[in-house]
Amino acid sequence: MAIPLSSADTIANGKAGTKAQCLKSAAEALKEGKNVLIDRCNLELEQRSEFVKLCGAQADAHAVVLDLPARLCISRSVKRTGHEGNLQGGKAAAVVNRMLQKKEPPKQSEGFSRIVFCQNETDVRNAVDSYSSLGLFDSLASGIFGQKNLDNKVQQGIMKFLKKLDTVGNVSQDTFKSECKDLSPESVKEKEDRKDKQINPLLQKPIFSDFHCNGAPTLAFPSISTSDFQFNQDKASDVIVDAVANFLSKDDKVRLILVDLSPKSNMLSLVRFKASKKNVDTKRFSTYAGDITRINTEGQLKCNVIANATNWRLKPGGGGVNAAIFGAGGKALEIATKKQAETISPGTSVVVTIPTTSPLYQREGFTHVIHVLGPNMNPQRPNCLQNDYVKGFKILHDAYNSLFENFASVIRSKNSEKEDDRVSEGEHCESVKISAVGSAENQASHVEQKIKREGSHASDRKKKCIPHVHDEEEVQKSSKTAHSTKRSWPSWSHALHELAMNPEKHKESYLEISDDYVIVNDRYPKAKRHILVIARLPGLDCLADLRCNHLPLLKKMHVVGLKWAEKFTNDDPSLVFRLGYHSAPSMRQLHLHVISQDFESSHLKNRKHWNSFNTLFFCDSVDIIKEIEANGLASMDDYEKLLSLELRCHHCKSAHPNIPRLKSHIASCKAPFPIQLQNGRLVFSSTRSSAAACDT
């Protein structure tokens, strides 16, 4: 490796060279494929910019900054002799001091992929060593190293120092003043610039970073939504810094790295600046400019987990980070992702264990990818928020919180596993719990607690629900299947989907709406009270589409379904409700039935109607949630056979020859509900729930 010294000081045959000569010489050397070292003060951004420009796309620009104390710089410049530029003695002190006043530490946003600050001799030696030991194909990590959070541009008491020099170096105070003036023809402009910098903090220097990966679990993550989804970068940087600070305050052992491909990334600069203002620990949070899929081999940063800014279908391609990560992860990652989730909601994330055959595991050593979906402000992409930054902020916050919580979950689960317990390609989905996010989180976690308190595990649902009918038991044994393949939907089955996707066109139709669901009265109620909580997530048509990442949504739907059931039972304490899903619905778009158990309705006309609510065709919401938590997806019984079963009373289980006879029976049946419907599956009026519990 040839490193010609293109110093402006020595370029002209040992005489002082010009900047133009230096630039010319450097450009030629780069053209020849050589590595070029510019040894120049370059204290200001403008001075450096022309050298950085030379690199273009074909060469990396690094900066090694001799960030020595002002006192030392001045002392050395005063003492030195024989300087090529004749800058020594008292004159040197004045010039150095002037220069230091204008010092603008280099930033990655200028185009440097790697910046190393040397504060002392050891740092300088290390920097020299790291460059001199590079092999032909070696490279050094991108990022900022060794920067300290001090802003002592000028030595304190310098005037006192210079006064002393007046006598020693024969430089008068006036000379100093006039020299400063002479050397600063643009001093007015500079003053304005400095003023601007005070007003615009983004032009001030970035935070200092001394980030080191000391074996702590480390997550590398891209900025979510600020690229293709066009989320305002300034606003997004606030969210990132908030979420990072919050997460780091909760867990003192983890490290986070924000990654952007471009060294000129505005996001990295914004985040660094805001993190510094917020005093975020730079040992635990850093930024990295480079390829996230090669951050370990190229950046030597020892990340365990990487995040991906994905699309709602979790599909490879598209561009940006998503394309890069799926591209680098290979088919194995694609399959593993598909197994974990088919779609993802904005503001949530999905953890995928990286298969051992994936290059991301083999080459980089990453163990997990966490796919994250943020808010979209791009009208060309689905679910555009149309500049609604109130929603946007919330969703972006949710997205980062979900990402960090899932990262914490990965660490927890890894800590509890043995190192060699890795899940190999094609095996079951990671049992990491997906965090619930958003405003219903607290309520949802209450549901979770309730489910836990009430005991039975989802995978035991079929075992504990011992059927009373032998036929049903046989149906169960013979035909438990997960209908995971996408079905085609007939023309008449899209009404709920249309409502969920375009609720603004159907304002008169719904009872309640949120970002996650819309609630309507069933058009053909099969009981006195029968409403539907319809999920609004695109691509979520039925139970077979559910994966771990839908748990927060399912819990929110359950919570709001409960709320309505409770409202109805307050109005009429005789009502009892069940909340559940049809295992094979006729209408597309996942919808939760909240239905009173009287089944007193002229719309309940046939066997199919009855059995769809009174056999295992009807899946209780609590069971679905538990089953997905346990297995990652919901298994379902053969719905066709279940729907043609005999008609049995849902209280006493007596059989009846036809619907009219059944209906007349249930109108007078006084038997309690069977034990299988207890454990949280029935919702009673609060005034009679204790009495109902005694019934059983």
Partner DNA sequence: GTTCTAGAAC
**Is residue 63 part of the contact set for DNA (CB under 7 A)?**
no
- Span of 107-115, 263-271, 557-565, 598-606 interacting with DNA by CB under 7 A: 598-606
- Bridge partners of 115, per DSSP, are 63, 144
- The stretch among 18-26, 85-93, 504-512, 657-665 that binds DNA (CB under 7 A) is 657-665
Min separation Cβ 647 and DNA, Å: 7
364's tokens: 């980089």
Query: Which structure tokens are listed for 111?
Result: 């185009």
Beta-bridged to residue 582, according to DSSP, are 618
Does the annotation count 397 as an active-site position?
A: no
Of 530, 470, 478, nearest to 655 by C-alpha is: 470
Q: Of 205-224, which residues contact DNA (CB under 7 A)?
A: none
Q: How far is the CB of 490 from DNA (least distance, A)?
A: 6
Determine the Cα–Cα distance for residues 217 and 214; give it in Å rounded to an integer: 9
Q: Does the protein bind DNA through residue 587 (CB under 7 A)? A: yes
Is residue 585 a contact residue for DNA (CB under 7 A)? yes
Residue 496 Cβ, how far from DNA at the closest point, in Å? 9
**Of the listed pieces 292-300, 374-382, 397-405, 491-499, which binds DNA according to CB under 7 A?**
491-499
Select from 573, 581, 524, 552 the least CA-distant residue to 683.
573
Closest to DNA by CB, 313 vs 609, is 609
CA-to-CA separations, 679 to 456, 578, 620, 683, in angstroms, rounded:
8, 12, 11, 10
CB of 235 or CB of 607, closer to DNA: 607
Stretch that binds DNA, among 131-139, 205-213, 263-271, 486-494 (CB under 7 A): 486-494
Tokens in use for 472?
A: 């049903």
CB of 658 to DNA, least distance (A): 3
Both tokens of residue 566? 């409770």
Q: How far is the CB of 522 from DNA (least distance, A)?
A: 8
Indicate the residue among 19 and 608 with the shorter CB distance to DNA: 608
Q: What is the rounded CA–CA span in Å between residue 275 and residue 580? A: 46
Query: 534-567: string of b/e by CB count within 10 Å (b at 16+)?
Result: bbbbbbbbbbbbbbbbbbbbbbbbbbbbbebbee
Nearer to DNA, 212 or 608 (CB): 608
Diameter over CA atoms, the chain: 118
**Nearer of residues 229 and 599 to DNA, judged by Cβ:** 599
Q: 60: number of CA atoms within 13 Å, CB side?
A: 18
CA torsion sign for 310, 312, 314, 317 is negative
**How many Å apart are CA 353 and CA 399, to the nearest integer?**
19
The count of C-alpha atoms lying within 13 angstroms of the C-alpha of 447, restricted to the half-sphere facing its C-beta, is: 26
498 interacts with DNA by CB under 7 A:
no
Which of 470, 415, 434, 282 minimizes the C-alpha distance to 345?
434
> Scanning residues 604 to 643, which ones bind DNA (CB under 7 A)?
605-607, 609, 612
In angstroms, the CA 571 to CA 568 distance is 5
Backbone angles phi, psi at 125, to 5 degrees: -60, -45
Set 368, 497, 582, 591: catalytic member: 591
Nearest to DNA of 42, 601 (CB atom): 601
Among 119-127, 300-308, 582-590, 621-629, which window interacts with DNA (CB under 7 A)?
Answer: 582-590
Per-residue x/- mask for DNA, residues 443 to 482, rule CB under 7 A? Answer: ----------------------------------------
How many CA atoms does the CB half-sphere of 597 hold within 13 Å?
25
Among 362, 442, 658, 686, binds DNA (CB under 7 A): 658
Residue 50: exposure state from Cβ atoms within 10 A (0-12, 13-18, ≥19) = middle
Residue from 7, 116, 8, 117 nearest 60 by CA:
116
Q: Closer CB to DNA, residue 285 or residue 577?
A: 577
Tokens of 512: 């309640």
Residue 582 engages DNA in binding (rule: CB under 7 A): yes
374 near DNA (CB under 7 A): no
Nearer to DNA, 41 or 659 (CB): 659
In terms of CB distance, is 605 or 688 closer to DNA? 605
Among residue numbers 661 through 680, which ones bind DNA (CB under 7 A)?
661
Tell whether residue 490 is a contact of DNA (CB under 7 A). yes
Quick check: 487 binds DNA (CB under 7 A)? no
CB 325 within 8 A of CB 259: no
Q: Is residue 34 within the footprint of DNA (CB under 7 A)?
A: no
Closer to DNA by CB, 297 or 654: give it. Answer: 654
Cβ nearer to DNA, comparing 302 with 607 = 607
Minimum separation from the CB atom of position 689 to DNA (A): 28
Stretch that binds DNA, among 88-96, 261-269, 429-437, 485-493 (CB under 7 A): 485-493
**Beta pairing, strands 682-683 & 255-260:** unpaired
**Residue 670 burial (C-beta neighbours within 10 Å; 0-12, 13-18, 19+):** exposed
Q: Which of 586, 686, 687, 696 binds DNA (CB under 7 A)?
A: 586
* Region binding DNA by CB under 7 A among candidate stretches 30-38, 287-295, 397-405, 583-591: 583-591
Size of the site for DNA (CB under 7 A): 23
Contact between 603 and DNA per CB under 7 A: yes
Least distance between DNA and beta carbon 351 (Å): 32
Query: Which of the ranges 249-257, 304-312, 490-498, 680-688 carries the binding residues for DNA, by CB under 7 A?
Result: 490-498
- 334, 327 in Cβ contact below 8 A? no
- Which amino acid does the sequence have at 477? K
Question: What minimum distance in Å lies between the beta carbon of 606 and DNA?
Answer: 5
Cβ distance to DNA smaller for residue 659 or 692: 659
What x-and-dash track marks residues 502-531 binding DNA by CB under 7 A?
---------------------xx-------
Contacts by residues 149-157 (CB-CB < 8 Å, ≥ 24 positions apart): 149/207, 149/208, 149/276, 149/282, 150/208, 151/205, 152/69, 152/70, 153/70, 153/100, 153/101, 153/103, 154/70, 154/97, 154/100, 154/101, 155/69, 155/70, 155/71, 155/74, 155/97, 155/100
We find the least distance from the C-beta atom of residue 544 to DNA, in angstroms, to be: 14
- Minimum distance of DNA from residue 642's CB (angstroms): 12
- Please identify every residue annotated as catalytic: 591
Per CB under 7 A, residues contacting DNA are 490-493, 523-524, 582, 585-587, 603, 605-607, 609, 612, 644, 647, 657-661
